[in-house]
Structure 1
């Protein structure tokens, strides 16, 4: 739900730079690079009038500005009772078990130094 709110309020711009009919660059969040056609070797007597063939297009995608905040009191009675029942039944699913007392919890068994049955190969059947 948080991602839906984040993406619905996100605004961004998409800039495209065209030289003639060809797309040169597209940029999101930044400026598009231009093609920079420089005229070199121009004499002072020559006047060059170039028709601008480049154009920039800017698309602005605006996000939602205002969010509607509803409270629990704005809901009708049926919806309030359904949500309350759902929440209470969900919390009742996870009841903890009662803590059991283990009387011999701290008892350590004696350490066996020699196992006489294995030592003498004597087994009671």
Structure 2
């Protein structure tokens, strides 16, 4: 028969591991509004503002939804749901899936397509 202390420690360990796993996969740092500032392709950098183009991304961590809107010569809006697995984020919209690697460092988010890691969008947090 196990002692109550060992049983309690085992339960606590399980709860903590589930919590850490949930935090790691939910990526709450993505939550909020982000303005894409730069498009990088290899060593080339292109500030989007200099092209008269604005791209805003919004992530709702609790609802697991995303929205993107562009302003400029070609205005467009898209939205959908997303799932996360560590740094991999899958955005889904209208039956199309976009697989991205997303890294959040403070007020900066770097997004790159899984099939084209040389291309990166650098976004700054708005709120």
Please give the TM-score of this superposition, normalised by the length of structure 2: 0.20
- Bigger radius of gyration, 1 or 2? 1
TM-score with structure 1 setting the length: 0.20
